[in-house]
Chains A and B, each alone.
Chain A
């Protein structure tokens, strides 16, 4: 089965339809997503601000990393669960939404940024733990994370708007390709 086929099968499930059409269920899930954004992205920004050397300069970097990690994980879990539910409620439109697709790519890049930081400059944390301005690689990781999360928030918010939706034709060819729109063959 193609990915689109799988997504269409999801959309046919009764729980998906119920969540989509619920008076309170969908808004509550979306509100949880925004709350968890404050917790997860907010604390990520705190760490990024320390890494860039913009503020919290007297706090050891390892202290920020270790002590906010459990809270970030908690926020992240709520974000992912509520995010998956939001997708599950509106599967086909989300799957064919250009902002949703870009958001997923940006999330992967944000994950790679964390991985590069953890397996690189953070291994030598003892050498710069108390530096008010961390080394260039750490500052880069901080600025990259700030930029990525701003873009992720942008894409997330724009998913709600239908400018590039597949049912809104004609669209430029590139948009249709990136969004994975299935266009009906022109009438003979």
Chain B
């Protein structure tokens, strides 16, 4: 096993042994409830991201400037992202070794990392520049939908 894989495996074992991981695993209701909050935040981030991406692509609220729309949506993107990360960490801690073995989980983590970097660097700058940009809008949608798709497939043991 290579160094990084080894490290990730140990991290997964450690996560499952944390009090949080144990508590969620031992409770019949904790996992479903956290999953629900994760999913509700997904709906919020879905809307807040899409309304700006659609505008960048030249659809939706075309009479409103890209910059205004992006500025108004920003607290909802960041707020729901924080909720998703916190609930996501909790879900991971309860089944980290299963996630380690799941291709869908790693696809999701890779898309998530790219999507977050892209959102807070390139997309933020382009939206503030107030011009439509189809490439940036399309890339954002593809990255975030990759995150959602990967997330759903973790549950199927993919």
B75 near A38 (CB under 8 angstroms)?
Answer: no
Q: Is A111 an interface residue (CB 8 A)?
A: no
> A30 CA to B61 CA in the complex, in Å?
29
Q: Are A42 and B36 in contact (CB under 8 A)?
A: no
Inside 8 A of B60's CB, which chain A residues have their CB? 67-68, 71
B43→A149 contact, CB < 8 A: yes
Please encode chain B, from 143 to 158, with 1 for each CB lying within 8 Å of some chain A CB and 0 for all others. Answer: 0110011011100101
Interface residues of A in 35-75 (CB under 8 A from B): 35, 37-39, 41-46, 49, 55-60, 63-64, 67-68, 71
Are B40 and A153 neighbours in the complex by a CB distance under 8 Å?
yes
Using A41-B47, A55-B75 as known contacts, say yes or no to A157 and B39 having CB atoms under 8 A apart: yes
Residues of chain A with a CB closer than 8 A to B88's CB: none
Known contacts A27-B156, A27-B158, A158-B36; decide if A35 and B48 are in contact (CB<8 Å): no
Report the separation of the CA atoms of residues A71 and B141 in the bound assembly, to the nearest whole angstrom: 14
- The secondary-structure label for the interface of chain B is helix
A181 on the interface (CB 8 Å rule)? no
Best-buried of B51, B63, B153 by chain A (most CB within 10 Å): B51
Contact B43 A42 (CB under 8 A): yes
Does chain B have a CB within 8 A of A154? yes
Q: Is the CB of A150 within 8 A of B75?
A: no
A124-157 contacts to B, CB under 8 A, are 149-150, 153-154, 157
Shortest A133–chain B CB gap in Å is 14
- The verdict on A71 contacting B44 (CB below 8 Å), with A31-B149, A157-B36 known, is no
Residues of B26-79 at the interface with A, using a CB-CB cut-off of 8 Å, are: 28, 32, 35-36, 39-40, 42-51, 54, 59-64, 68-69, 72-73, 75-76
Chain A residues proximal to chain B, CB less than 8 Å: 27, 30-31, 34-35, 37-39, 41-46, 49, 55-60, 63-64, 67-68, 71, 149-150, 153-154, 157-158, 160-161, 163
6 example contacts (A-B, Cβ-Cβ < 8 A) are as follows A37-B43, A38-B148, A42-B49, A56-B73, A67-B60, A67-B63
Interface of B toward A, CB cutoff 8 Å = 28, 32, 35-36, 39-40, 42-51, 54, 59-64, 68-69, 72-73, 75-76, 144-145, 148-149, 151-153, 156, 158
